[in-house]
Amino acid sequence: MLFQLDLTGSSVEDVFGEFWKGQGAEDDVRAFAERLVHGVLDHRAFLDGVVTASAEHWRIERMAVVDRNVLRMGVYELVYESDTPPVVVIDEAIEVAKKFGSVESGSFINGVLDDVLRRSRSGELRTSEDGPPTP
């Protein structure tokens, strides 16, 4: 869904409607996925700053569409979704990147998210709830 939103500029409602057609997803899965999409969109500027700070020599707009959206979602989960263990977030992001990205996507995602996790644990990252966002 994030990929489609990034490429097409469609509305969230249109993307949700199209995505869920013919899907047999349970309500809790659907709610979680939509919460992630809304969370990424709501915090996109902050997430892009975090990704850019952790991806040496890469600007967010120069990243592959799959990679930047997997990273946005992974950072969102690491920073805002404390119910999911960080190792699970990173492993799932790597798997999605390997499936839908390039040959290098998995290792790229792993490196960036590992750095984000390190920075988060060290207190370098602050969300708007802690004060001004600091990527």
pLDDT at 131 over 50: no
pLDDT at 129 over 60: no
Q: What's the confidence (pLDDT) of residue 132?
A: 45
pLDDT at 75 over 90: yes
Between the two ends of the chain, the Cα-to-Cα distance in Å is 24
Q: What is the DSSP string of 62-122?
A: GS-HHHHHHHHHHHHHHHH-TTS-HHHHHHHHHHHHHHHS-TTHHHHHHHHHHHHHHHHHT
In the chain, where the domains are located: 2-121
Residue 27: both structure tokens together: 């309500």
pLDDT one-digit tens code per residue, 109-128? 999 999 999 999 998 887 65
Element (H, E) at 10: none
72 CB-contact burial (10 Å; exposed 0-12 / middle 13-18 / buried 19+) = buried
Architecture of the structural domain at 2-121: Orthogonal Bundle (1.10)
Q: What's the confidence (pLDDT) of residue 119?
A: 93
Distance, CA of 70 to CA of 1 (rounded, Å): 11
pLDDT one-digit tens code per residue, 24-67? 889 999 999 999 999 999 999 999 999 999 998 899 999 999 99
User: 131, 47, 132, 32: which is closest to 88 by C-alpha?
Assistant: 32
